[in-house]
Structure 1
Amino acid sequence: MVLQAKKEVYEQLTKEVKASPHLVFTEYQGLSVLEIEELRKSLRSMNSKYQVPKNKILSLVFKNNNLELLSQGLNGPIGLVLIKEEHPVQILKKLIQFAKDHNKFKLKSGYMFGKLLSLLEITKVANLPSKEHLIGKTVLTIKMPLIKLMNVLKANQTNLVCVLEQIKNKKEKA
């Protein structure tokens, strides 16, 4: 029965790792159950998941999915963040903020964009602007020349109206 339960955990974890393009490894030792639940709840709302799998099972999952390099740093209690979003910036910001608020929670490394990332590289990715911000900036960059052109073309009409208004005022006074 124990073997069957481990098999089910292995299969479920394999499915979730395959469905998650980005992974983050954490140290959670010393956090209370309530703090871990708080983290899980906030990650769930962002289409991500926080798990604390057994290192042996996690190592087997990585080995059988051609991710052997990820099993090298699996020592001690490890928490695993499964990020299902294509753009992990907001989730990484949330994890970094959680680590600042809870001293015992630490980010160790991550697997993103097909490569293993250090804590420094994760921090750099988290500092990137969000996808929505970049789209807005791009739209504004494309739109700005049109706005300027429209203002230049409109200026002649506005000036003409002002000149005609002044002529009208002079004729009324005279």
Structure 2
Amino acid sequence: MPKPEKELKVEEIYEKLSKANSVIFTEFSGLTVADLTQLRAKLRGVGAEYRVVKNTLALRAFKKFMPSKNVEDYLVGPTAFTYCYNDPFTTLKILLDFSKEHEKLKLKGGIVEGELYNAEEIKALANLPPKEVLLSQLIGSISAPLTRLVMSLNWPVNKLVWTLNAIKNEKEKISE
């Protein structure tokens, strides 16, 4: 590939890295064209893009994009990038499920929202519930003690009201 073409490819990878909020590295050797087409269609449905990259060009783009991240170890052998433009966790779940169905697809690692993760960490992230569920669990765990506190603080007042109502009802019965 002539040098101007390489520079264009590096710039294209750099642009995609800049637009994506996460990038997952996979090895795809042994997958058929039909398998890759199926994977691309699933990823497109959640706003992600699957692209085969040349490791040397990807490394140049990464040195320009994130010089502090050491991605050389992940750019070995046939590599494809999954650029996540929306929710990275949905994309991770699709990749993990697809890799279970097609053992030839291997997760190498990736950068999720600015942090570099290895393959095991990527799999752990894929198993997390969606962000909305995590937020609702967090809110529930914060609000539960507060609700109990309010109920505990209201209990003496409620007990007093119930006692006074009972006394009132008792007096009404006696006066009748």
Q: So what's the TM-score if we normalise by structure 1?
A: 0.74
What does the per-residue CA deviation read over 1:61-93, in whole Å, with 9 as the maximum and x for residues that have no partner?
0112225511333121111111122x4211111
Change (3 A) 1:67 1:31: farther
Q: CA deviation at 1:118?
A: 1.4
Q: Determine the structure 2 residue equivalent to 1:152.
A: none
CA distance in 2, matches of 1:75, 1:124: 22
Whether 1:78 aligns to 2:79 is yes
8 Å contact 2:27–2:108 — kept in the other structure?
A: yes
Change (3 A) 1:137 1:75: closer
Percent identity, please. 32
Q: CA deviation at 1:137?
A: 4.1
Q: Which amino acid aligns with 2:31?
A: L
Q: Which amino acid aligns with 2:126?
A: A
CA distance in 2, matches of 1:83, 1:3: 28
What does the per-residue CA deviation read over 1:6-43, in whole Å, with 9 as the maximum and x for residues that have no partner?
33222111100111121111110010111111111111
CA distance in 2, matches of 1:84, 1:67: 22
Q: Determine the structure 2 residue equivalent to 1:22.
A: 22
Change (3 A) 1:24 1:15: same
Q: Pick which of 94-103 and 66-75 moved more.
A: 66-75
The CA RMSD over aligned residues, in Å, is: 3.6
8 Å contact 1:55–1:78 — kept in the other structure?
A: yes
CA distance in 1, matches of 2:69, 2:136: 39
8 Å contact 1:26–1:106 — kept in the other structure?
A: yes
8 Å contact 1:62–1:71 — kept in the other structure?
A: no
SS in 2 for 1:52: strand
- Structure 2, unaligned stretches of length 5 or more? 151-176
Q: Determine the structure 2 residue equivalent to 1:39.
A: 39
CA distance in 2, matches of 1:141, 1:117: 28
